[in-house]
Every structure is written in structure tokens, then in C-alpha cells.
Amino acid sequence: MTEPALALLDFDAAGRAVGHHLADVTQPHLSVLDLAATRGDGVFETISLANGHLQALEPHLARFAHSAAMLDLPAPDPEAWRAAIRAVAALVVDADGAPVDEGFVKIVMSRGVEGGSGSLDPRALVPTGWVLGAVAPDHGAARRDGIRIVLLDRGYRHDIAQTAPWLLTGAKTLSYAINRGVFREAARRGADDALFVSTDGFLLEGAVSNLVLRRGQTLRTPRTDLGILAGTTQVDMFAWAESVGYATEYALLTPQDLEEADAVWLVSSGRHAAPVRAIDGRERPVDAELTARVNAALHARTH
């Protein structure tokens, strides 16, 4: 394939997805009044596609629905979205028409097209939704050689999701300007990625990934009540790790835990487990063997 595959969701007047149709990604399909484009007012998920298999599709759909609920968006109809996702996934193929080794399908739903009046009234808005599928970028170097990260203050306390839910922490929204900004800040510091830390000193998440530490035979990740995104890939990494004898734990972690860890990864749907080889400029060992096993297991997922 040369261009990504695209399907647009069809909604009825009540905001319910009733179907989809394929569309040409090289053509414009969004209004300049769409709240995705003017306010980042919507939600998304990125699902990895391994040899034609949509990985962790149901957990992604569940998180999509959770994010939509946090934003008071209409509940996405899973059946309609699944059908569009499968239609697009089937088009992510190589020149011979065979499924690609690694692709991705991205699903997006915005609050819809605003009137020209500047009104913020969400009533009567019908969502906009689309599904995009494409060949994945090559993550080989990051998985093999590791990534350099820097710790960046997230600005929030660790309990922000409980004390200020209107800040939408834990929802995967289209308002990702900060997430992209931290990649630029990381690059300015000679790193590839960032790890957010709460103002009161707890490790949170990467800009678009979850943190996993190994110490001995135990894998640990930050608790999901810290205003972070609950990781679909991290969950699968833990399930595999338990199946081969590791203990796993959701914990309150600090930079001291990073220092004491035998191995550190940032984990996400697209890149899978990227081993961390430097933190704030200090090199650290990469667990190449376990990384390779984890990524082979993630790539081989059948759910």
C-alpha cells in the first residue's frame, strides 16, 4: 500500500454510529468547524496490527468508551466501530496484498461540527468519527538499542485524577499538544522520550507510553489511579510475564525505584517495549534478552 486506508463513520441524528464508508485519505474530509480541529475535543486509540491481527482490540475499545465517557461524549457503539476497524485493517497490506508484519489502526471520535456562532453548546452535535490504517513505522532500533529518556515534571500531584477530574487526566483526548511538546523538550536535552513525574515525586508515564520496571523477578508499573492512561500493552506484558514466572505489581514508584531497577521500559501499542538505556544523560544497562522475549510475545498476541 502507498496511502493509509480510511473509513469514515456514519452517525444518525442522535449521534449513534450506524455504519461506515471507505474514503480516500488524500482528500479532505473534515470541516474547519470540527471540534477535533478547533478544540482537540475528542478521543482516540491506536491499535497495533500484527500480520492482520488487531491486538488487544477489545481493551482498546473499552478505553475508547471510557475516554468518551470522561468527556461526556456519546458512547461509541462497539459494533459499528469494530466493523469499521476490521474493514480498514483488511486494507493494510503489502504490494502482494498480504497482511503486513506491523501496521496500526487509529480510531478517532470528536464531538462534531460546531455552528459558526462560536457557541460551546454541545447539544445537538453529532460526532465525527474515522478509522485510519497504515503500515507501522520501523521501531527496530528503539526496541534493540533502547531509548534515552529524561524526567519531566507533569505539573500535577499524584492524586490529581481524584481531586480535579475536570482536568481529564486518564482520558486519551485529541488535546495532545503537551504530549508532543515534551518530545521536543526531550530532543532539546539529547533524549528520545520523556517520563513524567508528579510534583510530589512519583513516576507517572511517558508522553505516549507506560513505564515498566524490573527488579529481580518482579515487574512494576505506576498505579493507574495517578492520572495516567491505563496501558493496554503494559497489561499484556504483565500477563505474559506472569505466565513465565515473574511477579507483577501496580505501585507508587519514585525516581529512587528507577535507580534501583535492573531494567526499565517504556511500553506502548506501536513501539511495544522500548528498553531505556539512559535516564537524564546517565547510561544504564539494557536487558536485551528479556526485551526480545517481551516483544516477541507482544507481537504474537492472539487477543
Q: Which is nearer to a second copy, 31 or 254 (CB)?
A: 31
CA distance 223 to 250: 5
The piece of 108-116, 238-246, 275-283, 291-299 that touches a second copy (CB under 8 A) is 108-116
What 15-21 contacts at long range (C-beta under 8 Å, 24+ apart), as own/partner pairs, is: 15/74, 15/112, 15/125, 15/126, 15/127, 16/74, 16/77, 16/80, 17/76, 17/77, 17/80, 17/81, 17/127, 17/129, 18/77, 18/80, 19/80, 19/83, 20/80, 20/83, 20/84, 20/87, 20/131
Binder to a second copy among 13, 14, 96, 118 (CB under 8 A)? 118
Residue 205 found at the interface with a second copy (CB under 8 A): no
With CB under 8 A as the contact rule, the residue among 49, 85, 174, 203 that binds a second copy is 174
Nearest residue to 62 (alpha-carbon basis) of 229, 277, 257: 229
For the chain, the straight-line distance linking the first and the last C-alpha, in angstroms and rounded, comes to 25
* Stretch touching a second copy by CB under 8 A, among 13-21, 41-49, 83-91, 280-288: 41-49
Residue 44 in contact with a second copy, rule: CB under 8 A: yes
Q: Give the range of 14-22, 29-37, 232-240, 290-298 binding a second copy by CB under 8 A.
A: 29-37
SS3 295: helix
Question: With contacts defined by CB under 8 A, how many residues of the chain interact with a second copy?
Answer: 69
- Asked whether 234 and 100 are in contact (CB, 8 A), the reply is no
Distances (CA, A) of 82 to 75, 173, 246, 265: 14, 20, 33, 30
Least Cβ distance, residue 80 to a second copy (angstroms): 18
Among 126, 135, 235, 292, binds a second copy (CB under 8 A): 135
Interface with a second copy includes 74 (CB under 8 A)? no
Q: Which of 18, 32, 141, 247 binds a second copy (CB under 8 A)?
A: 32
List of residues contacting a second copy (CB under 8 A): 3-4, 6, 25, 27-42, 44, 46, 71-72, 104, 106, 108, 110, 116-120, 122, 130, 132, 134-137, 152-157, 160, 163-168, 171, 173-185, 199, 270
